Structure 1
Amino acid sequence: MRRLAFILALLPGFAQAADLDGSQLSVLWGVPFAGVLLSIALVPLLAPMFWHHHFGKVSAAWALVFLVPFAVVVGPGVAWTAVVHAMVAEYIPFIILLTALFTVAGGIFLRGNLHGSAALNTGLLGIGAVLASFMGTTGASMLLIRPLIRANDNRKHQVHVVVFFIFIVSNVGGSLTPLGDPPLFLGFLKGVEFFWTMEHIWRETLFLLVALLTLFFVIDWWLYRNREEIQPRDPTPDTERIGFDGAKNFLLLGVVVALVLMSGLWKSSVVFNVWGTEVGLPGLLRDVGLIAVTLVSLRLTPSSVHESNQFSWGPMQEVAKLFAAIFLTIIPVIAMLKAGVDGPFGAVVKAVTNADGTPNPAMYFWATGLLSSFLDNAPTYLVFFNTAGGDPQVLMNALAPTLVAISAGAVFMGANTYIGNAPNLMVKAIAEDRGVRMPSFFGYMLWSVGILVPLFALITWIWFV
């Protein structure tokens, strides 16, 4: 007990440690982060059973590979401050919001049997795209992925349905408001007006959604018209009318939206210092409210609804454990990026700037997007937001094309990999639980590179060059 008391007594002092200087770090500090990414990419492919049972241990191992030498080299004070900031300011609010949306959406069951024709599937993807900007990509994904999989469970080919669902609902659809995707919400907290993204990115979003929905319809129609596509026996029989069970959760979804909106609109001078990380009263109340919503949903939702939805905590546990390792091991990577031209990644910062010192929107779009594909897109958005000056008034007006490029790159290209946006992994896990044989990490990238990258190139040519 004395040792514990001594350690706790030291913790407040850690908060006084100097900030992490990314310009003094070696690129080798990025190895644990790369290890997490490679583990997510390769281990499920090479040792699927091992990964299924031990992905949490693998994530913890990479976190320790980073944390132990990091604390020794930079000092326990700097290391503690960095870890607390990553957890308290970023990871914990991130997981609380995802858990609330996952739980509430998982408490809504679409009763009855939809039949997954090309028209129906395209319609569901279009509805999901609209919902994503107003209830978040996570909320829309969790609400619709299960009904979509059930609608197609009598078909031979289902993978393309889930892949396009990730493209459209889990990513692109969330680009119009700060409620849609975490990067835009961070911009909202920094001072970007709520409807600014809708006013400035709707053309790029509409182009991308129309192109993806059209391409999906053609692929799905071609497969659906094949006589061997439909199985003789439908696993979901036509025994009930179409309707919703657990409809009270729609009200709770509204509460989630209201809490997130409140935390951005309400400005309070009340700030709590958690070992060097400032936590504002609006954000704290938002997180407490989201936890309450989660508990209320679990209390009000009948067990029959969860059973019908095949609701389980497996997908949420996978996201929570993997992203805990990502948020920890990404600490030095973000610090090196924030160091700008003086840091190890100075070449990246220079690449987004013209010779005359003005920002290059096309390069901002691709730099933000490519990093968002493999880093978490929320901190990546902040890095390039600050690289472009960090003044929301300037970025919304004189440098509007640059802010459009940063916002679109962060949201759109989160679809490039499974780890580009949290709902991607959650949808993948749910689909696999339902028996859909989803592509591997690199297999999914074959889809994204073949379909999304040419569309991103067209967007660059039309709007950013």
Structure 2
Amino acid sequence: MKTIRPLLLACALLWPHWAAAAEIDASRVSPLWGVPFAGLLLSIALLPLLAPSFWHHHFGKVAAAWSLALLVPFALVFNASAAGSAIVHAAVGEYLPFVILLTALFTVAGGIFIRGNLHGSPALNTAILAIGAVLASFMGTTGASMLLIRPLIRANDNRKHTAHTVIFFIFIVSNAGGSLTPLGDPPLFLGFLKGVEFFWTVRHIFPETLFLVGSLLLIFYALDSFFYRRRDELQPADPTPDTGRLGFDGARNFWLLGVVIALVLMSGLWKSPVVFHLAGTEVGLPGLLRDIGLVIVTLVSIRITPAKVHKDNQFSWAPMKEVAKLFAGIFITIIPVIAMLRAGIDGPFGGVVAAVTRPDGTPDPAMYFWASGVLSSFLDNAPTYLVFFNTAGGDAKVLMTEFAPVLAAISAGSVFMGANSYIGNAPNLMVKAIAEERGVKMPSFFGYMLWSVGILVPLFGVMTFIWFR
């Protein structure tokens, strides 16, 4: 709570001006306003390396400091109502629904314990990653990640080399696997809300998904087999003893997972004319009921899950707190960056927008794939998807038909390339935090990117040549 008090104070000072909120004129926003966002990203990248103890205890304060570094001068230089409108929109329209959904999935999945001891052979690990890839499109990358990361780590706790398993888990389960339905990843859900048909993505980027997931599974199997054959790889005694047949404890949470899926679908399919206004931000009745329902699901899961299940799962709120605090800073400091991107060709980032258009004026699918992907690697992939969705015309019917290759490129880039960095997608940070809690020595921010650049980027290059030329 102490971490967010400065932000609450700043919001309280701005609140009287927010009722008459206005849009930020992005054409007057200098690229220098992106410095707090860049500073937060560099802090996430460097401080765990340079000052690990400080970062572990004060990462929330660092995120708050960079947020205030934007909020205070922004409110002074620009109209306070415009600054307030952007903050309220980011909080109410994006951040809170984002965190509420993540918390519900984190809690429900954390209330399911896969009983019994699995033994982390290359074949078993590859099978878990493949199962996670399938589940991700139906229960979301967050739900699938939280369900499977703990048993995967436990299955490999007698092995010397485990970080690569978690890295490939982030590649496959936390990102690529969520590319086939709007339930899988937030960008696709936003597209669904904009009018993209529920099964459009599975019809149009299934070959790309199959290629990427299949290639990653083959590479992982070869790498894991190499480590597994080493003489010093296995410990003499398995830290997790065999305790009987495999099974599920806390299985009632599967019903709650179904409720989460139903609530998300309801909010996208139900069109209600009832709209509430909060300081210039529209809050629709379906979205409000979805979020209330998700909060109730979270509380019910905590109530009905036996304490033993949480203990066996080594469940704690630390990973969720880390994601919530860091993404609060990201959602605030990203405000001017997204505004500049939305300004299009006339904005400060007009060169980025111009780069996705061919000389004859037609959209270039390859450039849309890489532009949406590279930005999704470091910005939140949901608003990045919307930026390029609107840049390509913003008409779902046209994009699903005449410009289907462009929409496929935007969808694939936004989802797949979220795996390029720890901050490309929220489950990445959650999985990293859980793995480190369990004693897995994960690579640094840049160390992880060496893996992603070395493995993912060449595969993205092949995909560009085959599907997005």
SS of the aligned residue for 1:304 comes to helix
Equivalent position of 1:437 in the other structure: 441
Deviation track 1:164-200 (CA, whole Å, cap 9, x = no partner) reads 0000000000000000000000000000000000000
Equivalent position of 1:422 in the other structure: 426
Equivalent position of 2:163 in the other structure: 159
After TM superposition, give the deviation of residue 10 of structure 1 in Å: 8.5
After TM superposition, give the deviation of residue 227 of structure 1 in Å: 2.3
Q: Is the 8 A contact 2:14 2:81 kept in 1?
A: no
TM-score by length of 1: 0.98
Equivalent position of 2:47 in the other structure: 43
SS of the aligned residue for 2:21 comes to coil
Letter in 1 for 2:224: D
Within-5 A mapping of 1:208-247: 208-247=212-251
> How many residues are paired up?
460
Equivalent position of 2:369 in the other structure: 365
- Match for 1:282 among 283, 286, 305? 286
1:31 aligns with 2:35: yes
Equivalent position of 1:459 in the other structure: 463
| Cα distance between partner residues in 2 of 1:72 and 1:289 | 38
Gaps of 5+ in 1: 1-6
| Cα distance between partner residues in 2 of 1:463 and 1:247 | 41
SS of the aligned residue for 2:418 comes to helix
Equivalent position of 2:354 in the other structure: 350
1:409 aligns with 2:445: no
Within-5 A mapping of 1:3-402: 11=15, 14-402=18-406
Letter in 2 for 1:344: P
SS of the aligned residue for 1:261 comes to helix
Gaps of 5+ in 2: 1-10
> 363-372 or 73-82: which moved more?
73-82
After TM superposition, give the deviation of residue 12 of structure 1 in Å: 6.4
| Cα distance between partner residues in 1 of 2:280 and 2:133 | 39
Deviation track 1:357-386 (CA, whole Å, cap 9, x = no partner) reads 110000000000000000000000000000
After TM superposition, give the deviation of residue 444 of structure 1 in Å: 0.1
Letter in 1 for 2:78: V
After TM superposition, give the deviation of residue 276 of structure 1 in Å: 0.3
After TM superposition, give the deviation of residue 8 of structure 1 in Å: 8.0
| Cα distance between partner residues in 2 of 1:10 and 1:337 | 25
> 10-19 or 206-215: which moved more?
10-19
SS of the aligned residue for 1:264 comes to helix
After TM superposition, give the deviation of residue 221 of structure 1 in Å: 1.1
| Cα distance between partner residues in 2 of 1:325 and 1:10 | 18
Q: Is the 8 A contact 1:12 1:275 kept in 2?
A: no
Deviation track 1:134-169 (CA, whole Å, cap 9, x = no partner) reads 000000000000000000000000001000000000
| Cα distance between partner residues in 2 of 1:10 and 1:342 | 29
| Cα distance between partner residues in 1 of 2:215 and 2:313 | 31
Deviation track 1:325-367 (CA, whole Å, cap 9, x = no partner) reads 0000000000000001111100000000011111000000000
SS of the aligned residue for 1:85 comes to helix
| Cα distance between partner residues in 1 of 2:223 and 2:23 | 52
Distance 1:293 1:169, change over 3 A: same
After TM superposition, give the deviation of residue 104 of structure 1 in Å: 0.3
Equivalent position of 1:3 in the other structure: none
| Cα distance between partner residues in 2 of 1:365 and 1:458 | 12
SS of the aligned residue for 1:420 comes to coil
After TM superposition, give the deviation of residue 9 of structure 1 in Å: 12
Q: Is the 8 A contact 1:133 1:174 kept in 2?
A: yes
Q: Is the 8 A contact 2:17 2:80 kept in 1?
A: no
After TM superposition, give the deviation of residue 75 of structure 1 in Å: 2.1
Q: Is the 8 A contact 1:134 1:180 kept in 2?
A: yes
Letter in 1 for 2:149: I
> 48-57 or 17-26: which moved more?
17-26
After TM superposition, give the deviation of residue 239 of structure 1 in Å: 2.1
| Cα distance between partner residues in 2 of 1:15 and 1:174 | 38
> 200-209 or 224-233: which moved more?
224-233
Letter in 2 for 1:47: A
Equivalent position of 2:7 in the other structure: none
CA-based RMSD: 1.3
SS of the aligned residue for 1:110 comes to strand
TM-score by length of 2: 0.97
| Cα distance between partner residues in 2 of 1:278 and 1:344 | 27
SS of the aligned residue for 1:231 comes to coil
Q: Is the 8 A contact 2:17 2:84 kept in 1?
A: no
Distance 1:12 1:60, change over 3 A: closer
Identity among equivalent positions (%) equals 76
Q: Is the 8 A contact 2:141 2:427 kept in 1?
A: yes
Q: Is the 8 A contact 1:132 1:180 kept in 2?
A: yes
Q: Is the 8 A contact 2:21 2:279 kept in 1?
A: no
